[in-house]
Chain A
Amino acid sequence: MYRTLSLKVGNWLAAAGRTGHFLTDTARSVRDVPTWAGLTVAQMRRIGVDSVPIALFIAIFTGIVLSLQASYTFTGAVPLYFVGTLVGKTVMLELGPVLTGLALAGRVGANIAAELGTMRVTEQIDALETLAYDPLSYLVVPRVLAAAIMFPIVVSLAILVGIISGWLTAISLLDLSTVEFVRGLKLFYQFKDIWFGLVKSFSFGVVIALIGCFKGLSVRGGAAGVGRATTEAVVASAMAILVLDAFWAVVLL
């Protein structure tokens, strides 16, 4: 009992140590600008641009549902233009960043973990190292930077489209005019609503990419190992997003 416990703590400390090493070494690799500079642009396309369709798909349906549910909730008691307020606030503060983040944890996190994991088990990472490349500057830094830059952009688009979709729903299916919707939208609006969402999505991007890279690079064993790492990356990213979401709410609101 005592032994298994101390063994567990030991394993846990070792894992924490590896993670710490990975983070500090990655931070150090950022100095190696010539290696990652060219590669980051390609990753921005893969991680960011290619994620736009799924982000917008989610945003459109979120906008529709929020609009309808708000009007259902407010029947009679609250003026209907509050639909605009609710759609705006929820999309900007919570659903835009978090739903997009969760979808991208699946898309981007799994993609990175599977790619790097396959490279690991087929010795491609070893090959890079023997060619005098540092896998951290060559593979990890471009992915993390690309995610850090592109997540806020993708989320901004999602927020914009979510609000537009909520507005279109309101004027076509509800008894609400554009003027009223916009009035509701502006009601409690603060500039902070925008940057709060962007800070969150920036942190989601960094964490999803880091987890995907770490899980991918530490794969052991063949195809089964890659599968396991991919699943772990998605689960860990999703959990990290929810924890970070709460963290920012406590710290910034």
Chain B
Amino acid sequence: MIEFKEVYKSFGDRQVLRGFSLSVQDGETVVILGYSGSGKSVALKHVVGLLEPDAGEVIVDGEVVHQLDREGLTRLRAKIGFVFQFAALLDSMTVRENLELGLKRRGLSRAEIDERIKEALELVDLEDVEDRYPAELSGGMRKRVGIARAIALRPRYILYDEPTTGLDPVTSAVIDRLIVRAREKLNVTGLVVTHDLRSAYTVADRIALLYQGRIRQVGSVESIRNSHDPVVRQFIEGRPEALADVEQAAGGVR
């Protein structure tokens, strides 16, 4: 289980998270929606200890992430796969070497590593790219290699940072199906950040809207789609002109 408890995080005077609380049960997929720059990526990075909260805590399997020592953190990271928003492939290595990196760390045999790489690349619909360098791939291909790198590890948790942004609709659907299958077949617990509502409705057990540093509403797909909260309606209907009304209706939330 992943639990954010009243997390605060600022960069300089910019307060990004202001009392962010959310829990993700084992075996479910939770989608975080939110405006660009609202702190979704920042929230995800707290789960693997890439960022430390100014106040509050993130708890994974009962352990407070920012209190772990280096060995503890390494153990924690070994059960989490992280899909970066911009793929973050190591550019001095080929696609195969990128995928091998995490697998080698888990002490798998050569045969098993090859098997998993082949399987993971097939799952994201990529062929004949093993020996290419990231610079030789398109943005969407890189993104899919990033996803393959995380799922090849068969981790218990996968954190996806905008897995479908920048992909064509068909490839997006492939990735959505992959996320659903990871949960159904491998019982992976997923936390997905996205702007893509169609994708959110497909993969989510629950949806949470991050707004002004906190969770505005969290609930089933249905409850979010039928929400009466003006801020939520505004986001899912995508009406920029309503922003001012929303601020007022929200009772001066600032």
Binding site for B on A (CB under 8 A): 25, 119, 122-124, 126-134
Contact = CB atoms under 8 A, between A and B. Distances in A.
A133 B81 CA distance: 13
A131 to B, nearest CB: 4
A127 B90 contact: yes
Contacts of A126: 45, 50, 84, 88
A137 to B, nearest CB: 10
Contact of A134 (B48, B70, B78): B70
A132 B82 contact: no
Given A127-B82, A131-B77, A131-B101, 11 more contacts: A124-B89, A124-B90, A124-B91, A126-B50, A127-B88, A127-B90, A130-B50, A130-B81, A131-B153, A132-B105, A133-B105
Given A132-B102, A132-B105, A123 B48 contact: no
Contacts of B90: 119, 124, 127-128
Contacts of B45: 126
- What's the interface size class on B, roughly? 20 to 34
Contact of A132 (B50, B74, B84, B86): B74
Interface string B88-114: 111100000000011001000000000
Nearest to A123: B88
A126 B84 CA distance: 9
A25 B69 CA distance: 12
B88 A129 contact: no
A128 B88 CA distance: 9
B101 A133 contact: yes
Chain A CB within 10 Å — which of B45, B90, B149, B153 has the most?
B90
Nearest to B81: A130
A127 B89 contact: yes
A127 B48 contact: no
B82 A130 contact: yes
Interface of B: 45, 48-50, 70, 74, 77-78, 80-82, 84, 86, 88-91, 101-102, 105, 149, 153
Q: Give the 7 A-B CB pairs with smallest separation, nearest first.
A: A123-B88, A127-B88, A130-B82, A131-B102, A132-B77, A132-B78, A132-B74
B88 A122 contact: yes
A118 B222 CA distance: 43
17 contacts: A25-B70, A119-B90, A122-B86, A122-B91, A123-B84, A123-B86, A124-B88, A124-B89, A126-B84, A127-B84, A127-B90, A129-B49, A129-B77, A130-B77, A131-B101, A132-B77, A132-B78
Contacts of B105: 131-133
Nearest to B49: A129
Contacts of A134: 70, 74
B48 A130 contact: yes
A185 B86 CA distance: 61
Contacts of A123: 84, 86, 88
Contacts of A128: 90, 101
Given A122-B91, A134-B70, A129 B50 contact: yes
Contacts of A131: 77, 101-102, 105, 149, 153
A232 to B, nearest CB: 21
A130 B80 contact: yes
B178 to A, nearest CB: 19
Contacts of A130: 48, 50, 77, 80-82
B86 A129 contact: no
Nearest to B93: A124
A127 B102 CA distance: 10
A15 B80 CA distance: 32
Contacts of A127: 82, 84, 88-90
A132 B78 CA distance: 6
Contacts of B86: 122-123
